[in-house]
A and B are shown apart, each in its own frame.
Chain A
Amino acid sequence: MKTLVNVARYHLVDRMTYAALPWGILAFTFVVNVVIAALAPTPKGYYTGAVASFYFVLLAAGAVSLTRGLPFGMMLGVSRRTYYLGTTALVVSLAVIYSLALAILAVVEGATGAGETPCTSSACRGCCKGPGTSRG
């Protein structure tokens, strides 16, 4: 159990990869999208899929944890199973925390009036906000 926690702590030593990088890149894409939406408004607004950047950064972090993190873990006498369990425990905890944070941001986004379901059907003509609406 202690080893499991240590594996999770081991990943968190590199806070850059697990905390700073995903949120930093998400913030950056958001700003870029807002600027684009402001400079080149379209009547239907934008569907940017910016949140995907968050998932991809964490996906890359997961891959690196296997190629770089595991060998050092094994040098320190961590079994593959414990490494897997410790990493999984960390990833699940982060997923819970980060999805809560994203959910809160979604509420904030909704309150600003942006980020509604994009208009794909002609039946809902008129439900869109005016030009310049950015959708996350």
Chain B
Amino acid sequence: MIPTISATGLGRRYRDEVALDNISFVIEPGSVTGLLGRNGAGKTTLMRIITGQEFPTSGEIRVFGEHPAENDPVLRRMIFVREEQNYPDLRVEAAIRVASWFYPNWNDELATQLLADFGLPRRRRIRKLSRGMRSAVGIVIGLAARAELTLFDEPYAGLDPAARQLFYDRLLTEISEYPRTVLLSTHLVDEVADLLEHIVMLDKGRVVLDAPADEVRGKAVTVSGQASVVEEFVAGRAIWHRQRLGGRAAVTVPGPFDDVALARARAMHLCLEPLSLQQLLVHASSKEQEKVSA
């Protein structure tokens, strides 16, 4: 099967700044991938290259097996909803109508439903909307387009938590009803953690993590309990993080833990807590920094 997106040694350099450095990864059809990373990690640059809006300075990008740049048949199959999208001076309903012309699988009922869900005034001009409402317009178009490849680049600017939850819920129902490949860039990792099947994490323009989400979730554990017992338990493992408070300690170590280890932890009255995706990524990026400075 042709991967939806494949990047090989992809690089993007602006004068003396490296935005993307030798990036390689593959995104399979029908998956939901989280593109994670801190501000300035290169997420938007990468998505702009995938959608043919920007050109790599080295390496190769292929979308549906072809180069996306100025390639209409490929571009027609994707939609790119970005943060702070610039809209022409149109009413909400006009923008929705325009978008519907460009997508063969466009679903009008869904668009109408989503407009109502987000409480968007159809007759209002987009330029008069608040930031959050403008973001919601992008989300409505992105979901209703039912494009084979849907890219969301931090599409929630200004959206309140309830509306963000609505977005995640709708995204989940939509992809189960009408499967498609989704690439979602975000730094609100824990909010979307349950949605993601695959994770690509960028840091300073490089891929620091590229793995199935399930694999990442069990990757590290925080062991807490009486300090001496904790130290005994984690002996021999790489220590990611150590915290002490009085006689107690909490130590973060990478997994996996087999049944024997888990039984031992119970016997030693230790508390094992898997690291959330977000905490894991914070660790991953700080470790990367150590590697760079070392």
Mask of B68-84 contacts with A, CB within 8 angstroms, 1/0: 00111001111111100
Q: How far is the CA of A71 from the CA of B52 in the complex (A)?
A: 13
Structural contact, A79 and B75, CB atoms closer than 8 A: yes
Decide if the interface of chain A is mainly helix, strand, loop or mixed. Answer: helix
User: Interface size on B (CB < 8 Å)?
Assistant: 32
Q: Give per-residue flags for A60-85: 1 if the beta carbon is below 8 A from chain B beta carbons, else 0.
A: 00001101110110111111111000
> A3 interface residue, CB < 8 Å from B?
yes
| A77 in contact with B77 given A13-B90, A13-B98 (CB within 8 Å) | yes
Which of B70, B77, B79, B81 touches A79 (beta carbons < 8 Å)?
Answer: B70
Is A55 an interface residue when CB atoms closer than 8 A count as contact? no
Residue of A nearest to B88 (CB): A68
Question: Which of A75, A78, A81 is B81 in contact with, Cβ under 8 Å?
Answer: A75
- CB neighbours (8 Å) of B85 from chain A are 71-72, 75
Q: Does A56 contact B (CB under 8 A)?
A: no
Given contacts A72-B87, A77-B75, A77-B102, whether A13 and B97 have CB atoms under 8 Å apart is: yes
Pairwise interchain contact B88-A14, C-beta atoms closer than 8 A: yes
Chain A 2-30, CB-CB to B under 8 Å as 1, else 0, gives 01001001100110000000000000000
**Distance in angstroms between the alpha carbons of A43 and B70 in the assembled complex:** 59
Bound complex: CA A3 to CA B72 (Å): 9
Minimum CB–CB distance for A19 against chain B, Å: 15
Q: Which residues of B contact A79 (CB under 8 A)?
A: 52, 70-72, 75
**Among candidates B53, B87, B98, residue contacting A68 with C-beta atoms closer than 8 Å:** B87
Q: Which B residues fall within an 8 A CB radius of A?
A: 51-53, 70-72, 75-82, 85-90, 94-95, 97-99, 101-103, 138, 141, 145, 147
Residues of A near any B CB (own CB < 8 A): 3, 6, 9-10, 13-14, 64-65, 67-69, 71-72, 74-82
Q: What 10 A-B pairs come out closest when comparing CB atoms?
A: A71-B86, A77-B75, A68-B88, A76-B102, A6-B101, A79-B70, A10-B98, A69-B88, A13-B94, A79-B72
